[in-house]
Chains A and B, each alone.
Chain A
Amino acid sequence: MRRAALLILLLGCGKPQGPTGPTRAIADSRGREIRVPIPPRRIVSIVPSVTELLFTVGAGDQVAGVTTWCDTPPEAKKKPKIGSIVVNAEALAALRPDLIVTCERITKDTTADLERRGYAVFSVDPMNFEQIAEALRLLGDVTGHADEGRRAADALLARVRAVEARVAGRAAPLVYFEQSVEPMWTTGPESYVGDAIRRAGGRLVFDGGWKLVDWESVLARDPEVILIPHDFREGLERRAGWKGLRAVKAGRVHFVAKDAFLYPAPRLLQGLEEAARLLHEKNP
């Protein structure tokens, strides 16, 4: 009896079994054809934004595990955890996932490792609102909630268009978005946060996507609005040349909700709407 139990235990620790039921091939953000079970019933998300996307399309019940950082929606917090930045292989195996969903850009090494171990890994990697909408449609399709995915995508884009209509034709102020300090992490228009600020009617002082910059570059560009989502707010006025910046003189340094500008997921709408309000309403 005990020997049999041990045997079962050992077998259970072996290679993850591929999906046992029917599967179909769907191309993910890497352009790879992934064999996805129809429908997946034990999904593990290893990225917070992906968790939010899955719940948004109504696949929350199929989610078997998430990371400790997955806090949106609140129901996600009740799901079993597979680790934080590092995936705990044992915890993951114990959940017997039939599909792992990720954002390849931020889990490259982990993903390669998981695929070597035989897991089916599906990636979405949205870089702007259209792509977030596309990811919603795709994940809706993957999880068997195609209609809900389409509806969520349309609702998202409708809110984006509404903001765009509100700020249309207004002069776009020069915006510096400071994601983090020491060193300064910022973004140009080519990231999902940059996309949100651009659509909110702002012109970012840096070009490209996410990047590290020095303070001199910020001073030289003299932004008209500064948006700060990070917590390191003390000592701002001690920065070299701070008081001479146009944004500071005009009282247009705004502290914004970190969560609203951190994830390529529906939460980014809050960032978009907040940015539009701060950039274009008379007395924010």
Chain B
Amino acid sequence: MRRIPSAWAVGGLALIAAAAVAGSMLVGSTPFDRTTPTILYEVRLGRAVLAFLAGASLALSGTIFQGLFRNPLADPFVVGVSGGAALGAVAAIVAGVETTVLGLGASSAAAFAGGLGAAALAYRLAAVRGRVPMGSLLLAGFAIGSFCGALLSILLLYGSPTWSRVVAWLMGYISDTNPWDRVKVLAPCLAASAAVAVVYARDLDLMLLGEEPAQQLGVEVERSKRLLLAAGTVAAAAAVAACGIIGFVGLIVPHVLRGAVGPRHRALVPVTALAGGALLTLADVAARAVAPGTPLPIGAVTALLGAPFFVALMRRKANRV
């Protein structure tokens, strides 16, 4: 695939993202001429910005994890974030906990805590004498994810059935009820994670060579790993807390763009974040255009649109070899 210069890619994607957000304001259950400023700015703009930030966070997280694990199939949820977050959120929903933390409902706050907790636990379990082998981390993350999944099933069976809420949460749902509250929590998390990813972009590049060569080239491997893992985890957990579990964006966007702009993370990080944001905003617009007034599980929409695209790309690549 011919490489696209990263400045062009950033510019182009920023334009697409802005267009998606603007387009998002035109589409909704109310005919445009009957919208009120509340609907336009507090609901539609908020929802578009929320979708953009969630998509950007997931794509950024996926980029970091794919780099760290040197595995193009890693996604934001490899270290157990989704399992821990789902368990936290559903536990809060089933228990009927009703506090608000920083403007987020209890389920979102519990999801954030659960996601971070699961990843931290995976990290601790994988650590051997101050080092964290990535293979062990992957396995620990998988184990914790499965364990959380099991607890989740038990909760769902025996807890009170608030099904629509649980299902929407597990399939990803971009709420238009109080989107700006969610934006206020998600934006700083994304900003912090993106800052870490940009500052440590070179370390990520070098770690693609392997941890030992990176060490020899002056990277403090364990420290960088820790920071980058934290950044990827915070971005993923924040996205999940704000919008539930949205799959595919965090896997496909970094994967595809690595082919388009090359593997260097200084370019890849901003490009994937913008593309992830634009993709999720467009998916949200598409969902609203198809089924106005009915909230569709956005995770299903991204997979529905993304999977065929992904397969087409894969086959094109395979044909060329």
A interface residues, Cβ below 8 angstroms from B: 84-86, 180-185, 211-217, 219-220, 231-235, 238-241, 244
| Contacts A180-B164, A238-B181; A220 near B294 (Cβ below 8 A) | no
Q: Which are the 5 A-B pairs with shortest beta-carbon distances?
A: A240-B42, A241-B38, A183-B295, A220-B30, A215-B177
Q: How far, in whole Å, are A214 and B181 apart by their CA atoms in the complex? A: 17
Q: How far, in whole Å, are A181 and B165 apart by their CA atoms in the complex? A: 7
Is B146 part of the contact surface with A, judged by Cβ < 8 Å?
Answer: no
The answer on a CB contact under 8 Å between B39 and A182 is no
Number of B residues near A (Cβ < 8 Å) is 39
Q: Report the minimal beta-carbon distance from A106 to chain B, rounded to whole angstroms.
A: 11
The answer on a CB contact under 8 Å between B294 and A212 is yes
> Which residues from A are CB-within-8-Å of B71?
none
> Which residues from A are CB-within-8-Å of B175?
182-183, 215
Is B215 part of the contact surface with A, judged by Cβ < 8 Å?
Answer: no
Q: Give which listed residue, A219, A231, A240, contacts B96 with CB less than 8 A.
A: A231
CB within 8 Å of A: which B269-321 residues? 293-295
Q: How far, in whole Å, are A185 and B166 apart by their CA atoms in the complex? A: 13
Q: Report the minimal beta-carbon distance from A173 to chain B, rounded to whole angstroms.
A: 21
Q: Report the minimal beta-carbon distance from B180 to chain A, rounded to whole angstroms.
A: 7
Is B168 part of the contact surface with A, judged by Cβ < 8 Å?
Answer: yes
> Which residues from A are CB-within-8-Å of B99?
234
Q: Interface 1/0s, chain B 138-169, versus A by CB < 8 A?
A: 00000000000000000001100110110011
Q: How far, in whole Å, are A211 and B164 apart by their CA atoms in the complex? A: 11
Q: Give which listed residue, B35, B43, B158, B168, contacts A215 with CB less than 8 A.
A: B43
The answer on a CB contact under 8 Å between A219 and B294 is no
Q: Report the minimal beta-carbon distance from B260 to chain A, rounded to whole angstroms.
A: 34
Can you give 6 A-B contacts (C-beta < 8 A)?
A184-B295, A212-B294, A215-B177, A231-B98, A239-B178, A241-B43
Q: Give which listed residue, B29, B169, B179, B295, contacts A240 with CB less than 8 A.
A: B179
The answer on a CB contact under 8 Å between B294 and A211 is yes
Is B129 part of the contact surface with A, judged by Cβ < 8 Å?
Answer: no
Q: How far, in whole Å, are A234 and B181 apart by their CA atoms in the complex? A: 14
The answer on a CB contact under 8 Å between A214 and B100 is no
The answer on a CB contact under 8 Å between B164 and A217 is no
Q: How far, in whole Å, are A184 and B179 apart by their CA atoms in the complex? A: 15
The answer on a CB contact under 8 Å between A232 and B34 is no
| Contacts A220-B34, A241-B38, A244-B38; A213 near B293 (Cβ below 8 A) | yes
The answer on a CB contact under 8 Å between A216 and B29 is yes
Q: Give which listed residue, A180, A212, A216, A233, contacts B44 with CB less than 8 A.
A: A216
> Which residues from A are CB-within-8-Å of B158?
84
> Which residues from B are CB-within-8-Å of A216?
28-30, 39, 43-44, 176, 293
Q: Give which listed residue, B98, B169, B173, B181, contacts A233 with CB less than 8 A.
A: B98
Is B84 part of the contact surface with A, judged by Cβ < 8 Å?
Answer: no
The answer on a CB contact under 8 Å between A86 and B157 is yes
> Which residues from A are CB-within-8-Å of B161?
85
Q: Report the minimal beta-carbon distance from B161 to chain A, rounded to whole angstroms.
A: 6
Identify which of A182, A184, A233, A244 gathers the most chain B CB atoms within 10 Å of its CB: A182
The answer on a CB contact under 8 Å between A217 and B157 is no
Q: Give which listed residue, A85, A215, A238, contacts B176 with CB less than 8 A.
A: A215
Q: Report the minimal beta-carbon distance from A90 to chain B, rounded to whole angstroms.
A: 16
| Contacts A233-B98, A234-B99; A220 near B39 (Cβ below 8 A) | yes
Q: How far, in whole Å, are A235 and B181 apart by their CA atoms in the complex? A: 10
